Amino acid sequence: MPFSIRQASGADSPGIVDVIRAVFDEYEFTWEPEGYHADLYALDAHYDGVCDRFFVAEIEGRIVGTIALETFEPIPGVSGSVPVIDGFYRVAGSDCSLERLYVHPDARRQGVGQALTEHIIALAQAEGRKQMEIWSDKRFGDAHRLYGRFGAAVVGDRICHDPDQSPEWGLAIPLA
């Protein structure tokens, strides 16, 4: 099925929640509308459309995939290390991050996840970003194969601040 990618607006919240909640149900993760998932219910407040951008993939007008790109000043520290910044492990040398990549279970294996990832990598590269940071649940093997195709390397791990305290890999994708 052909799909398209576009920047999201606040009106897309229900479709975005539908996709990400389906993935959380699939993995039996906790859903937390007023905590870990609050950004999904107030996109305009959390994503300014400039430094923090949220994108959706659609098939025939239905949102089936999501991804966000956040950009920031380079994280200090020796390349390949994971310093603690403001209480969180981060990937040193990164100046942007991949966030919220999810594809609805019934829309997988048609290239949506790869296209969403390509979309934000191309955007980050066009803006001169040097390294993309990703923190990803250790159980998301499909995603780790996908990231590997973009040159991602594991540089560390941490326990996520999500309600399930999920163990995560920290990965870096070189962009330059």
Ligand X SMILES: CC(C)(COP(=O)(O)OP(=O)(O)OC[C@H]1O[C@@H](n2cnc3c(N)ncnc32)[C@H](O)[C@@H]1OP(=O)(O)O)[C@@H](O)C(=O)NCCC(=O)NCCS
Which residues bind to ligand X, rule: CB under 6 A? 23, 101-103, 108-114, 136, 140, 142-143, 145-146
Query: Among all residues, whose Cβ is closest to ligand X?
Result: 113
Nearer to ligand X, 46 or 144 (CB): 144
Q: How far is the CB of 139 from ligand X (least distance, A)?
A: 8
Q: How far is the CB of 83 from ligand X (least distance, A)?
A: 21
Nearer to ligand X, 29 or 47 (CB): 29
CA atoms in the 13 A half-sphere facing the CB of 44: 4
Report how far residue 139's alpha carbon sits from residue 125's, in angstroms, rounded to the nearest whole number: 28
Residue where the block lists tokens 């829309």: 107
Query: Three-class SS string for 104-163?
Result: CHHHCCCCHHHHHHHHHHHHHHHCCCCEEEEEEECCCHHHHHHHHCCCCEEEEEEECCCC
Q: Which of 110, 120, 108 is nearest to 147 (CA)?
A: 120
Nearer to ligand X, 89 or 102 (CB): 102
Nearer to ligand X, 92 or 103 (CB): 103
Q: How far is the CB of 52 from ligand X (least distance, A)?
A: 17
